[in-house]
């Protein structure tokens, strides 16, 4: 956009300038990736000092509305923490949507029988934050996976738990070690909290110890990671890798370790943890979104007693608790007859779909990462070209740009609803989309 087109950025103070930018983003007059004027140019146009404009941009960065891109200047964040008006539909009609990252609704337990069992009495102030029945179910499942349970909190989803943990230990400006590539909403959350992500590269066995050591040496106060069903790569931390990571973390007892187990029992790999009995600061969050339903907005959180107490204490002075009605519904769905068989069906179905696509790609000589979870991560040379060609072929997949900090290009294909019979055709279309196109010369 030209300077003239950005005349809606106005104000005489840092607050007014920042508010005008926020308003423009909210109204979709500025979109993700749009560059803002340089500090010098905007100061001259508004008749204010460069210090005032810098302060406005600093406030916007601290809120995650904009990001600094070095020589690329200041631009609107890929996912600013604002409700944005008028966003266009992402997937055209008739295109197979493999972008969403959601569970297959057919593999979630039915709601009607569970709703009929929910306790309909009114829960009042002063009751326990966590229903005892939910605490018993969650504690047993976590302990069966080798997760220590010294205390338990219930939060409004995995990212709500991550946010509360980081708020309990960090302050704006702190660095956080994160998986690279990693989950875009988690990266967006860190930026919205004024935290600075420090990338930790990974392979199929999980985060690389040298990368974690580098991120911690750079001053990271926390390490946020997913050790199975890693999104987007599907990495699973191996026992040997866990020991290496624990040794690295052992030299940094002040760092809080945050494990986001978003897929839980349908991850397609056993539960694992970096926690040991003597880890002073750690937390583990398990969401029910992928196996009971995302609309429950519910996750269980455990960790060291101090961290769990801080999370619960902050809830008490804010929202108070996660609705007991939702907790009761989760209990009814979790303990429903046939629930174990449905979980096993979900695990097996996602495994077959994941392996079908990975196998079809391997048969064409195309490497892919797909050890667990619901996604396949396919390295490519040019994300934009491949995603555009696949869209033309009837497939919507995600370019890897928003997942990556320093890792190389790739695309993410969500296979949760992909029929096994579709895998070969999709792999063929991916192969064609990755192939260089010949240029023709006019006679």
In words, the CATH class of domain 4-76 is mainly alpha
User: Residue 179 and residue 200: Cα distance in Å, rounded?
Assistant: 5
Domain ranges for the chain, please list them: 4-76, 96-105+340-434, 110-334
**Sign of the CA dihedral running 160, 162, 165, 166:** negative
> What is the model's pLDDT at position 303?
96
pTM: 0.89
Which residue, among 173, 258, 147, 267, has the nearest Cα to 207 in the 3D structure?
A: 258
Of the CATH numbers 3.40.50.300, 3.40.630.30, 3.90.1150.10, 3.50.50.60, which one belongs to the domain with range 96-105+340-434?
A: 3.90.1150.10
Handedness of CA 228, 399, 296, 311 (dihedral sign): positive
Omega within 30 of 0 (cis) for the link into 181 = yes
**Residues in the chain, pLDDT under 50:** 1-4, 443
Q: Give the CATH number of domain 110-334; options: 3.40.50.1370, 3.40.50.300, 3.40.640.10, 3.40.50.720.
A: 3.40.640.10
The pLDDT assigned to 5 comes to 61
């Amino acid at each position: 956009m030209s300077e003239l087109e950005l005349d809606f950025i106005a104000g005489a103070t840092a607050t007014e300038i920042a508010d005008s930018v926020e308003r423009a983003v909210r109204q979709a007059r500025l979109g993700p990736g749009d560059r803002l004027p340089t500090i010098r140019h905007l100061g001259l146009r508004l008749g204010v000092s460069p210090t005032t404009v810098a302060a406005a941009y600093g406030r916007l960065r601290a809120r995650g509305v904009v990001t600094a891109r070095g020589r690329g200047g200041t631009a609107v964040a890929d996912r600013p923490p604002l409700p944005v008006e008028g966003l266009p539909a992402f997937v055209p009609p008739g295109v197979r949507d493999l972008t969403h990252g959601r569970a297959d609704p057919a593999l979630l337990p039915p709601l009607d029988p569970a709703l009929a069992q929910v306790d309909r009495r009114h829960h009042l102030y002063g009751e326990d934050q966590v229903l005892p029945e939910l605490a018993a179910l969650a504690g047993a499942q976590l302990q069966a996976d080798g997760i220590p349970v010294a205390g338990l909190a219930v939060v409004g989803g995995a990212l709500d738990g991550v946010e509360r943990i980081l708020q309990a230990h960090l302050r704006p400006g702190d660095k956080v070690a994160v998986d690279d590539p990693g989950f875009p909403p988690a990266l967006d959350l860190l930026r919205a909290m004024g935290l600075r992500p420090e990338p930790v590269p990974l392979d199929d066995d999980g985060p690389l110890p040298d990368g974690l050591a580098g991120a911690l040496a750079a001053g990271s106060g926390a390490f946020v990671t997913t050790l199975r069903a890693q999104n987007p790569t599907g990495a699973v931390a191996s026992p040997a890798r866990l020991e290496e990571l624990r040794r690295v973390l052992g030299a940094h007892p002040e760092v809080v370790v945050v494990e986001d187990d978003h897929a839980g029992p349908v991850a397609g790999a056993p539960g694992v943890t970096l926690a040991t009995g003597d880890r002073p600061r750690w937390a583990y969050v398990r969401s029910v979104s992928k196996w009971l339903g995302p609309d429950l907005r519910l996750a269980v959180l455990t960790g060291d007693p101090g961290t769990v107490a801080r999370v619960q204490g902050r809830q008490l002075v804010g929202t108070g608790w996660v609705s007991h009605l939702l907790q009761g519904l989760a209990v009814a769905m979790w303990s429903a007859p046939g629930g174990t068989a449905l979980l096993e069906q979900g695990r097996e179905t996602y495994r077959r779909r994941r392996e079908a696509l990975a196998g079809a790609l391997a048969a064409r000589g195309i490497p892919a990462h797909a050890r667990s979870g619901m996604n396949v991560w396919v390295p490519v040379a040019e994300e934009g070209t491949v995603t555009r060609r696949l869209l033309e072929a009837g497939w919507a997949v995600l370019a890897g740009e928003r997942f990556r900090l320093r890792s190389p290009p790739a695309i993410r294909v969500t296979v949760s609803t992909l029929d096994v019979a579709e895998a070969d055709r999709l792999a063929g279309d991916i192969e064609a989309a990755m192939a260089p196109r010949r240029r023709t010369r006019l006679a």
